Amino acid sequence: MLQFLLWWATFTRQASGLFLLTYSLAAVSLFFAFWRLRVTPLRRLLLAISFPFAFVQSFETVYSKLAYLIHPAAFAGTMRPAIILVEISWLLLGFSSFPFWRFTKISLGPLGFFIGGFLLWALFDYPRIPGLQPFGLGLALNIALKIDACVLFITLLYRGTSELWSQGLT
């Protein structure tokens, strides 16, 4: 029921540019995962559908928890048990494709940018994105880090499936 309410709240509000970016990246990662995974058709579909949750929820969890540490009053809602339960369940869902990931040197770039970007955001007192205008540091980091999180998880899946393909395991 909680999942439905969160879905309803997300899709019934007017979508912002960040919402559209997030869902566009999720669609790209879903199709990428479907293309790369070589397992039974049903498993392929389920893993591909779950894959976007890995990068989206990784970004959102770091974002909300770091924001809470810097601006506790403004982000107190992110610490409610129901929100934490949803975050954990979405992370677990996204990480169900973990057996197909491989961390390599290529993954260090996107991972370093992800960590460095959030540290930079924290250094500048975590500028928030009130109405998405004007284009400022908060919005720029949000866009860059969402794209980077997507690239990171696609890189992990690409390297892992390449290794499995070369061994003839998928």
> For 65-93, how does the pLDDT look when each residue is reduced to its tens digit (9 = 90+)?
998 998 888 888 889 999 999 999 999 99
Choose from 3-7, 85-89, 139-143 the range with maximum mean pLDDT.
Answer: 85-89
CA atoms within 13 A on the CB side of 152: 20
Rounded to whole angstroms, how far apart are CA atoms 39 and 115? 32
pLDDT at 164: 73
Amino acid making up residue 165: W
- Secondary structure element (H or E) that encloses residue 53, with its range: helix 41-70
Encode burial over 29-61: b for 16+ CB neighbours within 10 A, e otherwise. Answer: bbebbeebbeeeeeebebbbebbbbbbbbbbbb
Peptide bond into 127 cis (omega under 30): no
Rounded to whole angstroms, how far apart are CA atoms 155 and 161? 10
Least trusted range by pLDDT, from 114-118, 145-149, 160-164: 160-164
What is the CB neighbour count within 10 angstroms for residue 142?
A: 22
Q: Which residue has the tokens 């912002």?
A: 16
pLDDT in tens, 22-64: 889 999 999 999 999 988 899 999 999 999 999 899 999 999 8
Rounded to whole angstroms, how far apart are CA atoms 18 and 103? 28
Name the nearest CA neighbour of 141 among 153, 156, 126.
126
Q: Are 157 and 170 in contact (CB under 8 A)?
A: no
Q: Are 74 and 63 in contact (CB under 8 A)?
A: no
pTM of the model: 0.83
* Proportion of the chain above pLDDT 70, given as a percent: 83
- Averaged pLDDT score across all residues of the chain: 84
Helix and strand counts by DSSP (H, E) for the chain: 6, 0
* Proportion of the chain above pLDDT 90, given as a percent: 49
